[in-house]
Amino acid sequence: MRQIILVRHAETAWNRSRTYYTGRDDPALTPAGEREAVLLGPHLAVHRDAHVLCSPALRARSTAKLAGLEADFSADLREWSYRLPDGHNVEEGCEAAPCRHDVWDSAVRSAACTGECLPEVTARADYVLGCARRLLAGGRDVVLVTHGNLIRILTARWLGLPAAAGAQLALRTASVGRLAVYDARPSLLGWNFSPAFDAVPLPSPQTPAEAALPVRSAGLNG
């Protein structure tokens, strides 16, 4: 079963404070984030022969390198460019002036939010998934090292859901999700597994005989 492995970059100071990026800022990992990224290495080792694509952002590139992945960079995996007022906090929900804009609501847009709206970033996510499907058809897994909200949209779209459904998919830093076609349906095999929080490792790829045996999935922890 070929898989798309989704890797969110490790912690930055803005993740710790739950602050929106403008999409143009490029913060480095915190010391804790560097440790998170290193801990990803053993769990991603089985995918090192996969086709690895990475956001060009420093935090994503550093995560891939510290996790032992050699990646090609793709501008399509860049951060969602909200371009909100600097320092805008996630808990505010973009309701405070001058923004008054929910980034997950494609029907709302304000003059203060001049970046990508939801339909625009969704089109980019759909393009990435199209590329990933072609790579899977070539017989290789695909690893995407990118950003939290983009991963949430990629997952929703893979499952055939509206992009806004990604708002309900909570995601840690330095976490791993797994997408595949299971029983002829696009499926979610694992979500939000973070070796910095979860003790059980991700399972190694199975042989057909092993796949027939009942197993406990660690990828849904958290």
Helix crossing, 58-66 with 31-44: angle to 10°?
50
The structure tokens 């806004």 sit at 164
DSSP secondary structure letters along 8-70: E---BHHHHHTB---SS--PPBPHHHHHHHHHHHHHHGGGTTSEEEE-SSHHHHHHHHHTT--
Residue position matching structure tokens 């490790």: 10
Phi first, then psi, for residue 179 (nearest 5°) are -115, 145
Element (H, E) at 149: helix 148-158
11 is a catalytic site residue: no
Q: CA-to-CA distance for 160 and 48, rounded, in angstroms?
A: 28
Q: How are beta strands 3-8 and 176-182 bridged, if at all? A: antiparallel
Q: Is 79 a catalytic residue?
A: yes
Indicate if the alpha-carbon torsion angle 88, 94, 98, 101 is positive or negative.
positive
DSSP reduced 3-state for 125: helix
* Catalytic residue of the set 11, 79, 101, 147: 79
> Would you call 14 exposed, middle or buried from its count of C-beta atoms within 10 A (0-12, 13-18, 19+)?
middle
Q: Which entry of 9, 43, 47, 147 is annotated as an active-site residue?
A: 9
Active site residues: 9, 79
